[in-house]
Chain A
Amino acid sequence: MSGLTLDSVVSRALRMVDGLSAPDVALAHCDIPCGIYDPHYAQIAALSVLRMNQLSDALELAPDLKNKPDQAKYHNSMVRYILVKEEHAEIVKREVRIIWGDYFKPEHAEKYADLHATVWNIMKLASKNKVEMNMQAAQDLLVAVQKFAEMFWDSKGTKTARVPSGQAIGGELVVPQ
C-alpha cells in the first residue's frame, strides 16, 4: 500500500496510545499577557469594594415592609452591592496572588522584607471584606493594595505617584511614572 510508511504506522500507534493515556503537556507559552504584570486591576477592584460599602451605606431602607415593589427594589440593590463586593474582593486576591507568585522572585522577597506579610494581610483583609460590610476594612484593603503596588513598581525600578482615582468613590491609585 502506498503512503504507508513505518513512520505513519508508528505515529498512528502512538496516537492510539495517547488516546488510552494522555501525553504530558509541554508548554511553549507564557503567562498571558506575556510577562506583563500590573497591580492596577487589583487597585480598581479594591476601590470597587470600597464603593460597594459606600453604596450600601447610602441605600435607604424601604419604609413600608408591606410594599412589595419597594422591598424588592431595596433587596435587589443590596444584593447587587454585596455580590459585586464579594466578586471584587476575590479579584483583589487573585490579582495580588498572581503577581506575588509569578512575578516576585526570591531576591525581591529579600529586598522587600515585608512583601509576604503585605500579601498575607491583603488576603486576610479581602476575606474580611467578603464577610463584613465594613468601610474601615475596605479602606485598609485599599491602603494595603497601594503598598503592594508601590513595592511592585519599585522592584522594576519605576517611580510611582499617587493620583486621584477620578471615580465617584474618590481615593487614590498608585500609578507608574
Chain B
Amino acid sequence: MKASRSAGSLVGVIALLAAAVRVLRIGMPIGRYVVEGHSMEPAYRAGDRVLVNRLAYIRWPPRVGDVVVLYDPERRSRRLLKRIAPPTDGDDGALRRWIVLGDNAADSRDSRQFGSVARRDIIGKAWRKY
C-alpha cells in the first residue's frame, strides 16, 4: 500500500535522525511526548501523543495560553504538561517567571503548589497532537 510505504520511509528517516541526534548528543528540536493524567483535559487526554517544539521560546518568551512541557520544579526528573497562565500580581513578565496551571484545576498540581517557573524549566511548546 502506498500509504504504509510512505509512512515506512518516514519512520526510517525519523529513526535515522533520532539515532544521529543520540550519537551526536545534541537536543532534538522536536520532542515526542505521551500524556499521562487528567489535569489538561479536555484539550489533552491521557494517552494523547504530542509533538513539542523545543525551539519555540528561543526568540520569544512563552505567551499566556501556550501549552508547554516543563520540568517539575519539585522533581526535575519528571516532566509536566501545563498551560501558561496570566501573571497574578500585575507584573508583565519582567520577572521572567511564568505561572503554569492545569486546565482541569480540580485535578492538577501546578503553580498553585510549586509557584512560578523559570524559563529554563520550560522545555518547549506543545505543537500538535499526533
Binding site for B on A (CB under 8 A): 1, 4, 8-18, 20-31, 34-35, 102
Q: Closest CB of chain A to B115's CB: distance in Å? A: 9
Contact residues in A for B18 (Cβ distance below 8 Å): 17, 21
A170→B44 CA distance, assembly (Å) = 50
Secondary structure type dominating chain B contacts: mixed
Flag B76-108 by CB within 8 Å of A: 1 or 0 each: 001111100000000000000000001000111
Asked if A11 contacts B130 (CB within 8 A), the reply is yes
Contact of B117 with A by CB under 8 A: no
Contact present for B11 and A26 (CB under 8 Å): no
Given that A4-B3, A17-B15 are contacting pairs, would A28 and B10 also be in contact in the complex, using a CB cutoff of 8 Å?
no
Q: List 22 A-B contacts (CB under 8 A).
A: A1-B3, A9-B7, A9-B10, A11-B130, A14-B32, A14-B51, A16-B7, A17-B11, A23-B31, A23-B32, A24-B31, A24-B79, A26-B36, A26-B79, A27-B79, A28-B35, A28-B46, A28-B108, A29-B107, A29-B109, A34-B107, A102-B74
Which B residues lie within 8 Å of A24 (CB)? 31-34, 79
In the assembled complex, the CB of B14 is this many whole angstroms from the nearest CB of chain A, namely: 5
Q: How far, in angstroms, from A34 to B6 measured CA to CA in the complex?
A: 44
A13 B7 Cβ-Cβ under 8 A: yes
| B38 in contact (CB, < 8 A) | yes
Q: Is B61 an interface residue (CB 8 A)?
A: no
* Interchain CB contact under 8 A, B107 and A30: yes
Complex-state Cα separation, A34 to B46, whole angstroms:
17
Supplied contacts A23-B32, A28-B102, 7 more A-B pairs, CB within 8 Å: A8-B3, A12-B3, A14-B14, A25-B79, A26-B80, A29-B38, A34-B107
